[in-house]
Amino acid sequence: MPDIEVYINRTSAYFPNDPVPNDDMELYLGFINGKPSKSKSIVLRNNGIINRYYALAKGGQATHTNAQMNALAVKALFEDDPAKIKDIQLLSCGTSSPDQMMPSHGVMTHGWLPESEAIEVVSPAGVCCAGMHAIKYAYMAIRTGDVKLAVATGSERFSRLLVSDVFEEEAQKLKALSNNPYIAFQKDFLRWMLSDGAAAFLMSDKPNENGLSFRLDWIEGVSYANEMETCMCMGAEKMPDGTLKGFMDFTPEEIMNRSIFSIKQDITLLSNNIVTLGGKKIKEIFDRRGLTIADIDYFLPHISSKFFKSKIYDLIEEVYGGGIPYEKWFINLYTVGNIGAASVFLMINELLNSGRLKKGEKLLLLVPESARFSYMYAMLTVC
pTM for the full predicted model = 0.94
Three-state DSSP class for 53?
A: coil
The confidence score (pLDDT) of residue 318 equals 83
Distance CA 112, CA 165 (A): 29
Cα–Cα dist 308/275, whole Å? 8
pLDDT at 113: 98
Which pLDDT belongs to residue 176? 47
Domain regions of the chain by residue span: 7-211, 215-382
Buried b (16+ CB within 10 A) or exposed e, 142-179: bbeeebebbbbbbbbbbbbbbbbeebeebeebeebbee
Contact 156, 126 (CB under 8 A): no
Residues of the chain with pLDDT under 50: 169-178, 181-185
Q: Which H helix or E strand runs over 236?
A: strand 236-238
Pick one of 3.40.47.10, 2.90.10.10, 3.40.50.2020, 1.20.1050.10 as the CATH number of 7-211.
3.40.47.10
Residues 149 and 86: their CA atoms lie apart, in Å, by 10
DSSP3 helix / strand / coil % (the chain, rounded to 5): 35, 20, 40
Q: Which CATH number fits domain 215-382: 3.40.47.10, 3.30.1110.20, 3.40.50.150, 3.40.640.10?
A: 3.40.47.10
> 215-382: same fold as 7-211?
yes
Residue type, 114: P
What pLDDT is stored for residue 170 in this prediction? 43
Q: How many CB atoms lie within 10 A of CB 77?
A: 22
Q: In what order do the strands lie in the sheet with 90-95?
A: 120-122, 90-95, 149-156, 197-204, 7-14, 214-223, 374-382, 362-369, 298-301
pLDDT tens-digit map of 67-105: 999 999 999 999 999 999 999 999 999 999 999 999 999
Nearest to 332 by CA among 341, 345, 323: 345
